Amino acid sequence: MGMVLKIYTMRHCLTCGTTRQVAAEISERCPWLVVELVHLDDPGTTAPPQVFSVPTYVLDGRVVAVGNPYVERLEAIVCQPSAS
């Protein structure tokens, strides 16, 4: 199974427009990576304990960014050859 990057957002998040752009770009740069946008204000959705603000980027259960990182920084973390 591939690596999963879950990106936690909410409707009131002022920077989540950028979050969607980052998600789209990282999906293009790392096609083997499963990228999921998780909207915490959707019914039945809860945040894992390590998510205390939005946006939060979680790679396979490990927080890799709080707030929107530069795409190049995120790529260096999630698209390493050892990660594929």
CATH of domain 1-43+52-67: 3.40.30.10
Indicate the average pLDDT of the chain.
Answer: 90
Percentage of the chain modeled with pLDDT above 90: 79
Please give the model's pTM, rounded to 2 decimal places. Answer: 0.90
Q: How far apart are CA 29 and CA 42, in angstroms?
A: 28
Query: Is 66's pLDDT higher than 60?
Result: yes
The residue-averaged pLDDT of 30-41 equals 94
Is-contact 36 5, C-beta < 8 A?
Answer: yes
Using 50, 70 and 90 to split pLDDT, how confident is the model at 20? very high
**The two three-digit tokens of residue 67, written as one number:** 């707030």
